[in-house]
Amino acid sequence: MFLKMFGFGISIIGLKMSSPSKRREMDVMKLMMSDYTVETINDGLNEFNVEFHGPKDSLYEGGFWKIRVELPDAYPYKSPSIGFVNKIFHPNVDELSGSVCLDVINQSWSPMFDLLNVFEVFLPQLLLYPNPSDPLNGDAASLMMKDRKLYDQKVKEYCERYAKREHIANMTPEEESDEEHTSDEESDPSDDDDDIAGHADP
């Protein structure tokens, strides 16, 4: 509370002297006490899933994604690893692995940031403002630049097929990788119907 009295907007000011393990515990606890559903893996705080909702006024509004978070031992001095578990069509998200291309996480991470920043600012900004010039999904980037109407349609199609609450509600950590590969295989026939060249699915 005293941080706000002195005008500091980022809570890390009072945490700089804390050990990485205590900072990790505090940041995860802040997520759990917020509106986010957090599912720990192997009863630890180094790896967990977070339920993330598509931001309002975006093509992804109404979508539900399970985000895998892995915290390195040196967190917050080293950035977390962030990935989408269920599929999303986005230029800066690898369709098969779910890896995210986001400079603030991959290159310019600072211990001043915390996990709430990731879910309340960084990921919503990523979905609101895709960057097709630095893609992880070349097909999505190309389609976005060449045919925005068809790109918008494809994004919404993926939301309907892969990002409903029921798609993540019954997923267990052990099933996630299998579910991802199964989704890739099942998507082939309909993806062919979409007539989008160079689709990333095998």
Are 46 and 119 a contacting pair, CB within 8 Å? no
Catalytic residue among 38, 96, 101, 150: 101
Q: Which tokens is 84 given? A: 């989408």
Following CA atoms 63, 66, 71, 72 in sequence, which dihedral angle do they give, to the nearest 10 degrees? -100
- Could you tell me how many residues make up the chain? 202
For the question of residue 101 being annotated catalytic, the response is yes
199 phi, psi to nearest 5 deg: -60, 140
The b/e string for 20-39 (b: 16+ C-beta within 10 A; e otherwise) is: beebbebbbeebeeeebebe
Q: Contacts for 160-163 with beta carbons within 8 Å, 24 or more apart?
A: 161/87, 161/187, 162/86, 162/87, 162/88, 163/54, 163/60, 163/63, 163/64, 163/65, 163/86, 163/87, 163/88
Catalytically active residues are 101
